[in-house]
């Protein structure tokens, strides 16, 4: 029984709760597939598998690959923004062979599993556990006898099994090492990348804080779990030695989840002289100076920090647990150590007005650092989505519009969808001033980074 993992056509963020089309120019590994395939290799080594990354291809290419590899099972990933697009995989597979078993995965299926099964009449299974690895292996080991975390068909009925056979969340140390060898690591890149080649690695799953109402983590990926450092070191050496990967992005909610773990990991990277540089997400409430110095020594060149808003009422509304003062202190430390950084901000969180958006813009401008001004998307299954619906703010159920780069799918009494979208664009245009352009060009370290920055700038100017 051969398994074909397919990342569907279209440059969408589908990794563990991500959503929307790419605003910046980057291409990361289809990481959910790498993790699932790595676990499959460990648990059922006799099964052959392939991973097809079709994000820059079309469905004709997908059909061609299905014909070439003749799988018994096709597994594909999805997110809210791309779900209707991604379900075309099922029809494409059926055109080749009606007997191929189709399995959809993706965090959003916890809320939209039934929707996916109804939308695609030939979809066999939708894994509704946001952490799909155990459910997938269970299906493969039992010849598709569903027992955990799936929607499936029973005659004319769609049934849903939410019961999990394990006592807590997945033990990430059982999952093994992601199947980095099954993709072409030379094709992936990031806008901040300094060296070649580029790959994603994760050190944890879940979030230490885990309370933000707009995030998928609180309901889907808790509690926070750390991977074994020995396994991570083995993975990093494999990437460097076998695939010439020297630039890493840590795919964690934040890298500073556990200070002792950080100390041990970064010390090992330094002591064993692993030839990498890296970037990560950083939470601004646990950033001692010794940690930043150790990160820098271990190869850290860039961190991304969640600000969301500079307005204290909005931050309280979404239970962010971070204040602008914390951000300012962390920024001063980063500048002192010499680590580059950017901020994530969101337009449209509960309590938003034109005045609060301007407050956030001014805060970011005064800090003098790059930032995102994405639209806050009410991802189905989050508390934010439930709040939007219960208050009657939702404008549409067209999931293709649930996108960080499109007008919000909701209106507030204080500000309309169209007004929020225009304010978001003002935020991005702020970086087109001579001050920011010169600073950005000064910090460019490679031709590839110049190329991605220019392409991203053109997309922002066009409003793509």
* pTM for the predicted model, two decimal places: 0.94
Q: Based on the domain organization, do 95 and 244 belong to the same domain? A: no
Q: Find tokens 């209707």 and name the residue.
A: 84
SS3 at position 279: strand
- Tell me if 352 is assigned to some domain: yes
Confidence of residue 190 (pLDDT cuts 50, 70, 90): very high
Q: Find tokens 């440059």 and name the residue.
A: 11
Give whole-number Cα distances, 172 to 105, 133, 230, 339, in Å: 18, 10, 13, 29
Domain that holds residue 302: 184-462
- Tell me if 195 is assigned to some domain: yes
Residue % of the chain over a pLDDT of 90: 85
Q: Based on the domain organization, do 222 and 142 belong to the same domain? A: no
Q: Based on the domain organization, do 106 and 211 belong to the same domain? A: no
Confidence of residue 449 (pLDDT cuts 50, 70, 90): low
Q: Which residue, among 295, 401, 414, 311, has the nearest Cα to 361 in the 3D structure?
A: 311
Q: Based on the domain organization, do 59 and 150 belong to the same domain? A: yes
Q: Based on the domain organization, do 317 and 411 belong to the same domain? A: yes
Residues 313 and 379: their CA atoms lie apart, in Å, by 22
- Tell me if 175 is assigned to some domain: no
Q: Based on the domain organization, do 142 and 202 belong to the same domain? A: no
Where a domain ends, among 111, 129, 161? Answer: 161
Where a domain ends, among 112, 129, 161? Answer: 161
The CATH number that applies at residue 285 is 3.80.30.20
Q: Which residue, among 274, 305, 289, has the nearest Cα to 338 in the 3D structure?
A: 289
Bridge partners (DSSP) of residue 211 are none
Q: Is the pLDDT of residue 457 over 60?
A: no
Cα diameter, the chain: 64
What's the start-to-end Cα distance of the chain, in Å? 42
- Tell me if 179 is assigned to some domain: no
Q: Is the pLDDT of residue 168 over 60?
A: no
Residues 181 and 256: their CA atoms lie apart, in Å, by 28
What are the structure tokens assigned to 27, written together? 């291409």
SS3 at position 126: strand
Q: Find tokens 């494409």 and name the residue.
A: 92
Q: Find tokens 């007008």 and name the residue.
A: 407
Q: Kindly give the pairing relationship between strand 125-127 and strand 101-105.
A: parallel
Residues 118 and 92: their CA atoms lie apart, in Å, by 17
Q: Which residue has the higher pLDDT, 266 or 437?
A: 266
Cβ neighbors of 273 (< 8 A, separation 6 or more) are: none
Which pLDDT tens digit goes with each residue over 265-323? 999 999 999 999 999 999 999 999 999 999 999 999 999 999 999 999 999 999 999 99
DSSP annotation of 53: E
Residues 252 and 306: their CA atoms lie apart, in Å, by 13
Q: Is 457 within 8 Å of 428 (Cβ atoms)?
A: no
Mean of per-residue pLDDT scores for the chain:
93
Q: What is the mean pLDDT of residues 2-11?
A: 97
pLDDT of residue 18: 81
Confidence of residue 21 (pLDDT cuts 50, 70, 90): confident
Q: What is the mean pLDDT of residues 224-253?
A: 98
Positive or negative: CA dihedral 147, 150, 153, 156: positive
Confidence of residue 454 (pLDDT cuts 50, 70, 90): low
Where a domain ends, among 161, 176, 193? Answer: 161
Helix, strand, coil fractions of the chain, as percent rounded to 5: 40, 15, 40
- Tell me if 334 is assigned to some domain: yes
Q: Find tokens 């940690």 and name the residue.
A: 291
Which pLDDT tens digit goes with each residue over 331-389? 999 999 999 999 999 999 999 999 999 999 999 999 988 899 999 999 999 999 999 99
Residues 330 and 312: their CA atoms lie apart, in Å, by 17
Q: Based on the domain organization, do 145 and 263 belong to the same domain? A: no
Residues 380 and 111: their CA atoms lie apart, in Å, by 6
DSSP for 322-379 reads --HHHHHHHHHHHHHHT-EEEEEEEE--TT--HHHHHHHHHHHHHHT--EEEEEPP--
pLDDT of residue 459: 58
Positive or negative: CA dihedral 360, 366, 367, 373: positive
- Tell me if 174 is assigned to some domain: no
Residues 4 and 75: their CA atoms lie apart, in Å, by 6
Length of the chain: 464
Confidence of residue 43 (pLDDT cuts 50, 70, 90): very high
Q: Is the pLDDT of residue 167 over 70?
A: no
Confidence of residue 195 (pLDDT cuts 50, 70, 90): very high
Confidence of residue 448 (pLDDT cuts 50, 70, 90): low
Side-chain-side CA neighbours of 457 within 13 Å: the count stands at 15
Q: Based on the domain organization, do 113 and 191 belong to the same domain? A: no
Q: Based on the domain organization, do 96 and 151 belong to the same domain? A: yes
The CATH number that applies at residue 24 is 3.40.50.280
- Tell me if 177 is assigned to some domain: no
Residues 354 and 349: their CA atoms lie apart, in Å, by 12
Kindly state the helix (H) or strand (E) to which residue 218 belongs, with its residue range.
helix 217-220
Cβ neighbors of 110 (< 8 A, separation 6 or more) are: 128, 129, 130, 219, 220, 381
Q: Based on the domain organization, do 189 and 78 belong to the same domain? A: no
Domain count for the chain: 2
Q: Based on the domain organization, do 111 and 230 belong to the same domain? A: no
pLDDT of residue 65: 98
- Tell me if 142 is assigned to some domain: yes
DSSP annotation of 13: -
Residues 276 and 268: their CA atoms lie apart, in Å, by 12
Q: Based on the domain organization, do 325 and 357 belong to the same domain? A: yes
Which pLDDT tens digit goes with each residue over 100-110? 999 999 999 99
């Amino acid at each position: 029984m051969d398994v074909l993992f397919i990342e569907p056509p279209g440059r969408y963020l589908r990794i563990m709760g991500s959503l929307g089309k790419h605003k910046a120019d980057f291409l990361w590994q289809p990481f959910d597939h790498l993790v699932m395939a790595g676990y499959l290799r460990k648990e059922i080594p006799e099964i052959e598998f392939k991973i097809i990354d079709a994000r820059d291809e079309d469905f004709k290419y997908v059909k061609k690959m299905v014909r070439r590899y003749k799988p018994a099972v096709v597994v594909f990933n999805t997110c809210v923004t791309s779900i209707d697009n991604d379900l075309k995989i099922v029809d494409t597979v059926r055109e080749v062979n009606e007997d191929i078993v189709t399995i959809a995965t993706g965090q959003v299926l916890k809320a939209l599993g039934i929707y996916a099964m109804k939308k695609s009449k030939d979809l066999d299974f939708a894994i509704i556990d946001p952490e799909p690895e155990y459910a997938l292996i269970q299906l493969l080991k039992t010849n598709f006898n569903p027992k955990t975390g799936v929607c499936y068909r029973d005659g004319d009925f769609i049934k849903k099994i939410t019961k999990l056979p394990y006592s807590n969340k997945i033990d990430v140390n059982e999952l093994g090492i992601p199947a980095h060898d099954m993709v072409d690591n030379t094709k992936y890149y990031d806008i901040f990348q300094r060296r070649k080649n580029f790959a994603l690695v994760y050190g944890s799953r879940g979030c230490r804080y885990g309370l933000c109402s707009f995030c998928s983590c609180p309901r889907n990926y808790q509690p926070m779990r750390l991977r074994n450092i020995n396994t991570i070191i083995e993975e990093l050496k494999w990437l460097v030695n076998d695939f010439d990967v020297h630039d890493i992005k840590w795919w964690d909610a934040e890298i500073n989840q556990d200070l002792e773990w950080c100390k041990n990991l970064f010390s090992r990277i330094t002591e064993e002289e692993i030839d990498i540089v890296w970037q990560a997400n950083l939470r601004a409430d646990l950033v001692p100076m010794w940690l930043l110095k150790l990160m820098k020594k271990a190869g850290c060149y860039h961190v991304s920090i969640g600000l969301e808003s500079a307005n204290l009422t909005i931050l309280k509304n979404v239970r962010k647990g971070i204040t602008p003062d914390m951000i300012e202190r962390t920024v001063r430390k980063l500048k002192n150590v010499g680590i580059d950084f950017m901020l994530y901000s969101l337009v449209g969180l509960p309590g938003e007005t034109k005045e609060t958006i301007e407050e956030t813009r001014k805060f970011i401008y005064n800090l003098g650092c790059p930032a995102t001004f994405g639209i806050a998307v009410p991802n189905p299954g989050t508390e934010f989505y439930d709040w939007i619906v219960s208050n009657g703010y939702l404008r549409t159920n067209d999931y293709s519009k649930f996108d960080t780069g499109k007008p919000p799918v909701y209106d507030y009494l204080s500000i309309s969808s169209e007004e929020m979208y225009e304010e978001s664009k003002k935020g991005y245009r702020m970086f087109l001033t001579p001050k920011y352009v010169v600073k950005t060009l000064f910090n460019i370290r490679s031709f590839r980074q110049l190329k991605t920055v220019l392409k991203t700038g053109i997309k922002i100017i066009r409003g793509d």
